């Protein structure tokens, strides 16, 4: 039986933010209020553990919006399972930002 | 202001990027530069001061992120480990230390003087007169009243005397008023020292002369080529600039940045200073060694013992203390560590003579660079505050050189002992093998391995007559599968 990954509180918040639709670094910082020195290293660890994956936005889209391209993150299947486990471990995580609300905004 | 902050943010990102493994650096930097665009855009909603600093605050997070990237890369690949154990990395680090020391030394006044001895030759027979009641070599000064008494009577030993005393005074007339260490000196000081410079004509003005150091001329007078003859204010007095002393030209006690030349009777009474004297040639030849003890009388007829120490001794270069310290370090080395390098185990596989020559050349290169470092760093440290090779600083140089040489030789031998004879990488992953009770039946000690799979190094825990030095075991091709990437 494969044991469930045990995430730190910070990692769980970052996973939750990505699941809620905040899919690039600064938006996760903005939503969670965590500093850059916490969010980015947490994302590196999550990516190393294959709980999230990243891809670069197409240059044409960024050019059209007159900004540099973003690196987007999304949950992997393992990441979704880890987030479910984290929700059970940290019940207050749900109150941080309801996913539906984020998706509407 | 915004441009400055943007440059600081980018500088911070670039500096942090150096910590990121090179193959991921460009992508890492691209992500952070993209993200900071959003930070700047969103910071407009903050108060003005917070908005200015938001980007900088954000960029501070790049440092832990870069360190995390480095840590992750370290756990997933061994490239970094392999590089920092390589011979070229070792030589590069040593060469960088040597280059840094040498760069610093190029700006040291003492080293400049050493490199251009023709500019700073000291007349034969020139001595510094010191109070003999103080410890020898401590450069004890002479009261100005005693000096005046000497100048008023016929001298038996000296052809000429000059006095100077250090004071801190405000110099106004350059770009701004500055508080400087100024030497209030006899008018004949520079002619007595025989320094290669022309003092402007005294007839042109009744004002005293001021000689500027090269540093003050560049820093406070913007290297103005028309500074000679200009009237400036020293304290409450107006003086005119008579000359600029070349860099490194002043090698006497006291860190003077300007010299106020005035008649002896104009130097205010009280206090003490340094007396420079020119020994008569026929008298000097009768003196053995570089110092002489003489008795001088003051105005009341009281006798004073003084030392006259030759400047030729004071201006000896740094090589003497260096060679002594290196010799002492070499003699001390066998007491600190075994000088035996490693043996080869009985094996059919042995490195070629070319490999062994490269191994020896690597050890020689390390020793050569260590010798260079042991010369240049102590010179930097000991003479950074002096303008010449003074005896006190020579003692410091000797101590620093001895410390660095002993540590450097010990490290070079220890490092060489752990370098794989085939690829020159440092062996790693120590493992305890055997138990103490097996020392006499088999062996008991620590086993290191070469990461490239060439060798194992066996280091006995308890040296015995048949196994006293570390021993290399060469691995054949059957071990290759263990080390394949």
Distance of residue A93 Cα from the nearest chain B Cα, in angstroms: 24
Please tell me if residue B68 touches chain A, with a CB cutoff of 8 Å. Answer: yes
pLDDT band at B386, cuts 50/70/90? low
Q: Identify the CA nearest to B264 among candidates B151, B133, B131.
A: B151
User: Residue B192, Cβ neighbours under 10 Å: how many?
Assistant: 18
Reply yes or no on whether the pLDDT at B338 is more than 50.
Answer: yes
Q: Do A35 and B37 touch (CB under 8 A)?
A: no
Provide the pLDDT for residue B81: 57
Q: What is the pLDDT of residues B36-91, one digit of tens each?
A: 888 888 876 666 666 677 888 888 889 899 988 888 876 554 555 566 778 888 89
Provide the pLDDT for residue B166: 85
Q: Identify the CA nearest to B210 among candidates B175, B176, B170, B247.
A: B170
Q: Report, as an integer, the average pLDDT of B13-39.
A: 88
Provide the pLDDT for residue B336: 82
pLDDT band at A1, cuts 50/70/90? very low
Q: Report, as an integer, the average pLDDT of B104-114.
A: 69
Separation of CA B260 from chain center = 31
Q: Write out the two tokens for B281.
A: 């040639």
Q: Would you say B274 and B254 are in contact if contact means Cβ atoms under 8 Å apart? A: yes
Q: What is the pLDDT of residues A7-16, one digit of tens each?
A: 888 888 899 9
Distance of residue A41 Cα from the nearest chain B Cα, in angstroms: 5
Provide the pLDDT for residue B306: 78
Q: Would you say B68 and A45 are in contact if contact means Cβ atoms under 8 Å apart? A: yes
pLDDT band at A105, cuts 50/70/90? very low
User: Residue B328, Cβ neighbours under 10 Å: how many?
Assistant: 15
The stretches of A1-105 forming alpha helices (DSSP H) are 9-19, 25-32, 36-48, 59-64, 77-89, 93-96, 99-104
pLDDT band at B361, cuts 50/70/90? very high
Residue of B nearest to A36 (CA): B61
Which residues make beta-bridge pairs with B474?
B455
Q: Report, as an integer, the average pLDDT of A33-53.
A: 91
N-term to C-term CA, chain A: 40
Please tell me if residue A41 touches chain B, with a CB cutoff of 8 Å. Answer: yes
Q: Report, as an integer, the average pLDDT of B185-213.
A: 73
pLDDT band at A2, cuts 50/70/90? very low
N-term to C-term CA, chain B: 51
Provide the pLDDT for residue B331: 92
Provide the pLDDT for residue A104: 44
3-class secondary-structure state, position A1: coil
Q: Do B65 and A67 touch (CB under 8 A)?
A: no
Provide the pLDDT for residue B248: 66
Percent pLDDT > 90 in chain B is: 11
Q: In Å, what is the CA distance from A23 to each residue of B14, B154, B223, B239, B297? A: 25, 94, 59, 73, 91
Q: How far apart are CA A90 and CA A82, in angstroms?
A: 12
Angle at B55 between CA B50 and CA B57, to 5 degrees: 75
For the ranges A59-73, B131-145, B155-169, B400-414, which has the lowest average pLDDT? B131-145
Please tell me if residue B62 touches chain A, with a CB cutoff of 8 Å. Answer: yes
| B142 burial via Cβ count (<10 Å: 0-12, 13-18, 19+) | buried
Please tell me if residue B35 touches chain A, with a CB cutoff of 8 Å. Answer: yes
The position carrying tokens 């680090």 is: B93
pLDDT band at B186, cuts 50/70/90? confident
Distance of residue A36 Cα from the nearest chain B Cα, in angstroms: 5
Provide the pLDDT for residue B202: 47
Distance of residue B29 Cα from the nearest chain A Cα, in angstroms: 12
Provide the pLDDT for residue B334: 87
Which residues make beta-bridge pairs with B168?
B181
Answer with the residue of higher pLDDT: B281 or B168: B168
3-class secondary-structure state, position B260: strand
Q: Report, as an integer, the average pLDDT of B156-180.
A: 83
User: Residue B186, Cβ neighbours under 10 Å: how many?
Assistant: 26
pLDDT band at B188, cuts 50/70/90? confident
Reply yes or no on whether the pLDDT at B395 is more than 50.
Answer: yes
3-class secondary-structure state, position A42: helix
Provide the pLDDT for residue B408: 94
3-class secondary-structure state, position B160: strand
Classify B223 in phi/psi space as left (phi over 0), alpha (psi -120 to 50) or beta. Answer: left
Provide the pLDDT for residue B435: 77
Provide the pLDDT for residue A32: 85
Mutate which: A22, A27, A34, A37, vs B, most B CBs within 10 A = A37
Answer with the residue of higher pLDDT: B162 or B140: B162
pTM above 0.90, yes or no: no
The 3-state secondary structure of B43-57, one letter per residue: HHHCCHHHHHHHHHH
Give the highest mean pLDDT range of A7-11, B262-266, B306-310: A7-11
Q: How many CB pairs under 8 A join A and B?
A: 58
Out of B33, B61, B72, closest to residue A36 by CB: B61
Answer with the residue of higher pLDDT: B14 or B282: B14
Answer with the residue of higher pLDDT: B205 or B96: B96
Provide the pLDDT for residue B362: 93
Provide the pLDDT for residue A73: 94
Q: Do B65 and A44 touch (CB under 8 A)?
A: yes
For the ranges A37-46, B73-82, B193-202, B259-268, which has the lowest average pLDDT? B73-82
pLDDT band at B204, cuts 50/70/90? very low
For the ranges A24-38, B244-258, B304-318, which has the lowest average pLDDT? B304-318
Q: Specify the CATH class of A9-93 in words.
A: mainly alpha
Q: Do A45 and B68 touch (CB under 8 A)?
A: yes
Percent pLDDT > 70 in chain B is: 79
Provide the pLDDT for residue B400: 92
Q: Would you say B139 and B128 are in contact if contact means Cβ atoms under 8 Å apart? A: yes
For the ranges A39-53, B81-95, B302-316, which has the lowest average pLDDT? B302-316
């Amino acid at each position: 039986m494969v044991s469930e990954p045990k995430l730190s509180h910070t990692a769980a918040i970052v996973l939750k933010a990505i699941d809620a639709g905040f899919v690039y670094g600064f938006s996760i910082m903005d939503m969670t209020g965590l500093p850059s020195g916490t969010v980015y290293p947490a994302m590196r660890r999550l990516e190393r553990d294959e709980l999230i994956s990243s891809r670069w936005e197409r240059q044409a889209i960024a050019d059209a919006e007159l900004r540099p391209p973003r690196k987007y993150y999304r949950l992997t299947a393992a990441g979704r399972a880890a987030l479910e486990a984290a929700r059970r471990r940290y019940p207050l995580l749900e109150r941080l930002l309801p996913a539906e609300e984020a998706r509407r905004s | 202001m915004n441009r400055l902050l943007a440059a600081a943010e980018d500088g911070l990102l670039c500096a942090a990027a150096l910590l990121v493994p090179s193959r991921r650096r460009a992508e890492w930097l691209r992500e952070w530069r993209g993200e900071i665009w959003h930070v700047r855009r969103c910071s407009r909603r903050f108060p003005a001061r917070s908005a200015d600093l938001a980007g900088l605050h954000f960029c501070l997070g790049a440092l832990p992120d870069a360190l995390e990237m480095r840590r992750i890369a370290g756990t997933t690949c061994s490239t970094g480990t392999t590089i920092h154990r390589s011979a070229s990395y070792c030589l590069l680090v040593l060469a960088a230390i040597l280059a840094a020391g040498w760069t610093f030394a190029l700006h040291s006044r003492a080293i400049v003087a050493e490199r251009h001895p023709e500019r700073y030759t000291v007349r034969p027979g020139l001595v510094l007169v010191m109070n003999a009641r103080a410890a020898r070599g401590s450069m004890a000064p002479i009261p100005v009243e005693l000096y005046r008494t000497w100048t008023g009577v016929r001298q038996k030993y000296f052809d000429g005397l000059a006095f100077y005393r250090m004071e801190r005074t405000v110099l106004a007339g350059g770009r701004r008023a500055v508080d400087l260490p100024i030497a209030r000196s006899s008018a004949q000081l520079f002619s007595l020292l025989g320094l290669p410079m022309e003092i402007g004509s005294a007839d042109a003005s009744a004002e005293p002369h001021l000689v500027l150091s090269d540093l003050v001329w560049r820093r406070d007078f913007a290297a103005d080529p028309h500074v000679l003859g200009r009237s400036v204010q020293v304290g409450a007095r107006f003086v005119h600039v008579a000359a600029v002393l070349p860099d490194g030209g002043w090698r006497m006690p006291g860190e003077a940045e300007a010299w106020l030349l005035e008649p002896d009777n104009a130097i205010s009474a009280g206090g003490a200073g340094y007396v420079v004297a020119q020994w008569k040639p026929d008298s000097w030849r009768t003196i053995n060694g570089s110092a002489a003890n003489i008795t001088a009388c003051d105005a009341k007829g009281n006798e004073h013992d003084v030392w006259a120490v030759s400047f030729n001794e004071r201006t000896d270069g740094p090589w003497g203390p260096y060679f002594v310290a290196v010799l002492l370090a070499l003699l001390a080395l066998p007491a600190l560590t075994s000088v035996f390098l490693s043996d080869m185990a009985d094996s059919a596989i042995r490195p070629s003579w070319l490999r062994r020559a490269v191994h020896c050349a690597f050890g020689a290169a390390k020793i050569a660079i260590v010798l260079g470092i042991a010369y240049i760093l102590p010179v930097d440290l000991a003479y950074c505050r002096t303008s010449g090779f003074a005896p006190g600083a020579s003692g410091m140089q000797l101590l620093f050189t001895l410390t660095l040489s002993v540590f450097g030789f010990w490290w070079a031998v220890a490092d060489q002992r752990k370098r794989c004879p085939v690829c020159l990488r440092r062996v790693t992953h120590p493992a305890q093998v055997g138990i103490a009770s097996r020392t006499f039946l088999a062996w008991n000690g620590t086993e290191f391995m070469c990461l490239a799979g060439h060798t194992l190094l066996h280091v006995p825990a308890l040296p015995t007559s048949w196994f006293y030095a570390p021993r290399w075991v060469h691995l054949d091709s059957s071990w290759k599968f263990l080390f394949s990437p």
